[in-house]
Amino acid sequence: MHKQAHAQTLAARYPALLLAAEQIAAAVAAGVHGRKRPGPGEQFWQYRRYQPGDAAGLIDWRASARGTHLLVREREWEAAQTALLWLDHSESFSWASSRKLPHKSERGTLLLLALADLLLRGGERVGLLGTPHPPMSGRGILGRLAVQLDQIPVGGDAAPLLAHYPRNARLVLFGDFLDPMENLTHRFKHLFAQGLHAHVVQILDPAEVSLPWTGRVLYEGLEGEGHYLAARSETIKNAYQQKMAEHQDQLKSMTARLGWSYQLHLTHQRPELALLAMYQYLSEAA
């Protein structure tokens, strides 16, 4: 499917994706216990400026009256519980090997929104990395996150640009991460230098792991890499699988060296299981 047509189709399906994400989050939330963390009423942490999505009851009117901005009293646990999410918008991510499977970008969007919903249910603040919108809390912002995702064009900058982020924010990256390893290393080390702990969710089509085709096959790059005609595709299968396994091993090793966590999800697998594993990773890191 052409990238623009796929983007339009995906945008039209956002209501269904939102509903599916909420259902998946609800199923996972029913099966896990809350995180071990201080609740509201713990020690005062700091003042910060009011952000859209904050409850009016959080505003400290006395402190706000001394300046020109509305100020919110932020308790320690609230300051620490902020998640920044990033979704790959490269052209290679907008692909599926079969009409029976979701595009990687569609599955990534579903998992991102489901994780956001799960975190918001726990009272956390959630934002999208690389956008000008600050992290927000409250169940009502899930739709806003979907709109923000839809505003990023397919084929846009795939690098998770870093602007402003709250102290102790945690990062979750959704993508196929099939870039050359030197590019990934540079990008991840930049984020690591900012003091962010990240969880990397690699989303792949099962065909990208197994290379199931046989016979004469034309392989075309989705991002200008050119094409390759295999006269007998089965003869390159073993070498391809070994190369893919090496790339994944390098990705896992790099994230481990940074003290980050890594997770693989294939688009034919159940999204509920991926979300549960993701949530457990984040709970351990909190």
Q: Are residues 118 and 51 in the same domain?
A: no
**What span, in angstroms and rounded, lies between the C-alpha atoms of 112 and 85?**
7
- One domain, residues 23 and 69: no
Do 65 and 158 fall into the same domain? no
- Looking at the structure, do residues 166 and 221 belong to the same domain, yes or no? yes
Q: Are 182 and 214 in a shared domain? A: yes
Instruction: Say if residue 149 is in the same domain as residue 232.
Output: yes
The domain that contains 275 carries what CATH number? 3.40.50
228 and 269 belong to one structural domain: yes
pLDDT of residue 29: 82
In this predicted structure, what is the pLDDT of residue 58?
A: 81
Of 10, 2, 268, the residue nearest 152 (C-alpha): 10
Dihedral (CA of 177, 183, 185, 187) sign: negative
Closest C-alpha to 95, from 83, 85, 86, 106: 106
- 190 and 165, same structural domain? yes
Q: Which two tokens stand for residue 23?
A: 């259902």
pLDDT at 80: 44
> Are 141 and 248 in a shared domain?
yes
pLDDT on residue 182 = 94
Q: Looking at the 3D structure of the chain, how many domains does it have?
A: 2
- Provide the pLDDT for residue 7: 47
Residue 258's closest CA among 164, 206, 210, 187? Answer: 187
- Per-residue pLDDT tens, the chain, 286 aa: give them: 444 554 455 555 667 778 888 888 888 887 765 444 434 545 565 778 887 777 777 888 888 888 888 888 776 554 447 889 999 988 889 899 999 999 999 999 999 999 999 998 888 889 888 777 888 888 778 888 888 887 776 655 544 555 556 666 789 999 999 999 999 999 899 888 877 889 999 999 999 999 999 999 888 887 777 888 888 999 999 999 999 999 999 999 999 999 999 999 999 999 999 999 888 877 776 6
Do 201 and 218 lie in one domain? The reply is: yes
68 and 202 belong to one structural domain: no
pLDDT of residue 63: 85
The range of the structural domain enclosing residue 236 comes to: 3-37+81-285
Residue with tokens 């099966």: 31
- DSSP codes of every residue in the chain: --HHHHHHHHHHTHHHHHHHHHHHHHHHHTTSPPPS---TTS-EEEEEE--TT--GGGB-HHHHTTSSS-EEEEEHHHHH-EEEEEE--SGGGS--SSTTS--HHHHHHHHHHHHHHHHHHTT-EEEETTSSPPPB-SGGGHHHHHHHHHTSPTTS--S-------TT-EEEEEE---S-HHHHHHHHHHHHHTT-EEEEEEEE-HHHHH----SSEEEE-TTS--EEEESSGGGGHHHHHHHHHHHHHHHHHHHHHTT-EEEEEETTS-HHHHHHHHHHHHHHH-
Same domain, 48 and 174: no
